[in-house]
Chain A
Amino acid sequence: MNMTDTKTLKYAKSHEWLRLDGNRGTVGITDFAQKEIRDIVYLELPKVGKELTQGGQAGMIESVKAAFEIYAPVSGRVVAVNEKVAQDVTLVHKDPYDQGWLFQIEIKNPAEANNLLTEDQYNKITTNGGH
């Protein structure tokens, strides 16, 4: 996979990123989030076929002493899950925007993506204290 230009991504306040590719969206967590969580030990990813709604819970990220929810940035059906990252969670730390992607969804309503943030808007949130 090529290096992602993070400027082309959309962001949720809850620290997920979304890459749009037609009606398909790829979801991961941001570099800021992976640094905050520090040592990720386990990922609970949604099952293929699961219907997600924007802002609803899609999975969990666990560190040794904390569990964080992953929210769906847009509504849709899960069509693929990154099996590699499920096996080796450190990929999220090493390469959050490419090898560390989490799941892909078939987007139900592309207009929902308009509710998400641009990189600049997201960066503003995180520099103001984040989480």
Chain B
Amino acid sequence: MLATLFDKTKPGARAIGFPKGKIHPSQKIPSHLLRKTPPGLPEVTELEVVRHFTKLSQLNYSVDTNFYPLGSCTMKYNPKACFRLAFHGAFSERHPLLPAWAIQGTLKALKDFENALLEITGMDALTLAPAAGAHAELAGLLVTRAYFQNRGEIPQRKKIIIPDSAHGTNPASAALAGFEVVTIKSNARGRVNIEELKKHLNETAAMVMITLPNTLGLFEDEISEIARLAHQAGVQMYMDGANMNALMGIAKPGNLGFDVMHLNLHKTFSVPHGGGGPGAGVLLVKRHLDDFLPVPRIIEKNGQLQIEEAHPKSIGRIRSFHGSTANLLWSAAYVALLGKEGVLEASKGAILNANYLRVLLKEAGLTPFSDEPCMHEAVFTIDPKKLNGVRTLDIAKRLLDFKFYAPTIYFPLIVPEAIMVEPTETETPETLEEFASAVKTILQEARTTPETVKTAPHTLPVKRIDDVTAARNPVISWQPSRDQ
């Protein structure tokens, strides 16, 4: 394993320096406000920094280097052409408090992007402020709460109904927005149990949160009925758009009965995942919720794009400044590249690839959760008893030896030993075939030499990592006394 830069520190070494200023802090600031001991940052040369981080990068699997079938995360190729907008100096070197006249280019790019998203989703209004999907979700819940507040239905409407297959962010965001969470069990087909749902659709419910397609890669085929029942009870419909990559050009959520939804731009709209972020989220609503959206918003006034900083019914700000603009611009470039035919092609390709891989993996020996066609991803399970005790985790780790990143595992929580695979539209059939063949080999190993699988990975820079020790005795920073 590589040493940290702290291990390489040599006092006095450094890469970047600055000219001396004319006025020194000690002339103006009393000494009790000044730092006595400098922070223990590394002291290394520029070449050491370059080699260190280059070598670190080489320890990662990434979309640019490996197939990354991580279900629910939409690890599609991120076209390099998007750098042309996202990293262009005329956009990146612009301060967020500039007046509108100085930033019309950025505002126009964002407005074009907003219009495209409204077209793709069939919603009426949106905000680009959220920093991530979960952040948009929180904003969506707060907007809904403000809407009910305005109608005098708070605190009566205090429950958010969430299927047990949902992402953990749904209940976590609902709690943070001051709601109570009601979890309802999925039916045997992996869909919302409508009878169960009906029991909770009353004047105490505020919203039903549905992931569409759901986390099993399945479309809620009774979505229209769910929306009808919800609306009848005065309950709002929320769509978690994490899986929008299955729907672009196929159906608009706005036509399916949803009042509120969010998009994760780092999934469907190709913002690179960056090792876990920064993401970017978009919150979209129907007309009746428009007034409650967070500020700021881009509006058109006298033929000029302006920033609206305040709005009487708005929930207010959900962060500083406008949003993760560089990420928004990346997605704006991506949508411009796709265009009107491209959005459907992308989703179509994602569904085709997922079903192709579903068939291949079933042949390879995994058990699909459902034999129905899937949307953009498919969920499988295994029976460790039939595989000499080999578990999903072991298969995931062994896949790394075959130079594939692992699928999402143990999610959704309702499927035991779950393996969730999402190939995206950007992979070739040959890559999917190689992946399926690796899975087949691993299942064979599980039957004949299970230890090989249980102790995987064998060919990576580190062997199986001990998460238990990490959690029992958390060491979360480098300390000279201990680590030197």
Chain A residues with CB under 8 Å of chain B are 39, 41-42, 62, 64-65, 89
Collect the chain B residues with CB atoms within 8 Å of residue A64's CB: 467-468, 471
Q: How far apart are the CA atoms of A127 and B468 in the complex, in Å?
A: 28
CB distance from B399 to the nearest CB of A (A): 19
Collect the chain A residues with CB atoms within 8 Å of residue B468's CB: 39, 41, 64
CB distance from A118 to the nearest CB of B (A): 31
**Interface flag for B472 (CB, 8 Å):** yes
Contacts of B335-393 to chain A: CB distance below 8 A: none
Q: How far apart are the CA atoms of A51 and B410 in the complex, in Å?
A: 37
Cβ-neighbour of A42 out of B410, B467, B471 (below 8 A):
B471
Contacts of B400-434 to chain A: CB distance below 8 A: 410
Most buried by B among A41, A42, A62: A41
Q: Which applies to chain B's interface (DSSP): helix, strand, loop or mixed?
A: helix
* Sample of 11 further A-B pairs with CB below 8 A, known A42-B472, A89-B472: A39-B468, A41-B468, A41-B471, A41-B472, A42-B471, A62-B471, A64-B467, A64-B468, A64-B471, A65-B410, A65-B467
Give the contact-size bracket for chain B.
under 10
Q: Which applies to chain A's interface (DSSP): helix, strand, loop or mixed?
A: loop
Query: In this complex, what residue of B is CB-closest to A89?
Result: B472
Collect the chain A residues with CB atoms within 8 Å of residue B410's CB: 65
Query: In this complex, what residue of A is CB-closest to B413?
Result: A66
Q: How far apart are the CA atoms of A39 and B467 in the complex, in Å?
A: 10
CB distance from B392 to the nearest CB of A (A): 12
Collect the chain A residues with CB atoms within 8 Å of residue B471's CB: 41-42, 62, 64
CB distance from B135 to the nearest CB of A (A): 24
Q: How far apart are the CA atoms of A39 and B470 in the complex, in Å?
A: 12
Collect the chain B residues with CB atoms within 8 Å of residue A89's CB: 472
Q: Fill in one digit per residue for B460-471: 1 if any A CB lies within 8 Å of its CB, else 0.
A: 000000011001
In the complex, 13 of the A-B residue pairs with CB atoms within 8 angstroms, ordered by the A residue number, are A39-B468, A41-B468, A41-B471, A41-B472, A42-B471, A42-B472, A62-B471, A64-B467, A64-B468, A64-B471, A65-B410, A65-B467, A89-B472
Query: In this complex, what residue of A is CB-closest to B393?
Result: A65
Q: How far apart are the CA atoms of A65 and B411 in the complex, in Å?
A: 12
CB distance from B432 to the nearest CB of A (A): 29
CB distance from A3 to the nearest CB of B (A): 26
CB distance from B292 to the nearest CB of A (A): 34
Q: How far apart are the CA atoms of A95 and B7 in the complex, in Å?
A: 41
Collect the chain B residues with CB atoms within 8 Å of residue A65's CB: 410, 467
Q: How far apart are the CA atoms of A42 and B467 in the complex, in Å?
A: 13
Q: How far apart are the CA atoms of A20 and B471 in the complex, in Å?
A: 33
Q: How far apart are the CA atoms of A62 and B471 in the complex, in Å?
A: 9
Contacts of B117-152 to chain A: CB distance below 8 A: none
Collect the chain B residues with CB atoms within 8 Å of residue A62's CB: 471
CB distance from A60 to the nearest CB of B (A): 13
Q: How far apart are the CA atoms of A64 and B472 in the complex, in Å?
A: 9
Query: In this complex, what residue of B is CB-closest to A64?
Result: B467
Closest 4 CB pairs of A and B: A41-B471, A39-B468, A64-B467, A41-B472
Q: How far apart are the CA atoms of A64 and B464 in the complex, in Å?
A: 15
Query: In this complex, what residue of B is CB-closest to A62?
Result: B471
CB distance from A104 to the nearest CB of B (A): 24
Query: In this complex, what residue of B is CB-closest to A65?
Result: B410
Q: How far apart are the CA atoms of A48 and B222 in the complex, in Å?
A: 52
Collect the chain B residues with CB atoms within 8 Å of residue A41's CB: 468, 471-472
Query: In this complex, what residue of B is CB-closest to A42?
Result: B471
Q: How far apart are the CA atoms of A64 and B470 in the complex, in Å?
A: 9
Q: Fill in one digit per residue for B439-454: 1 if any A CB lies within 8 Å of its CB, else 0.
A: 0000000000000000
Q: How far apart are the CA atoms of A42 and B473 in the complex, in Å?
A: 9
Collect the chain B residues with CB atoms within 8 Å of residue A39's CB: 468
Q: How far apart are the CA atoms of A121 and B472 in the complex, in Å?
A: 34
CB distance from A129 to the nearest CB of B (A): 13
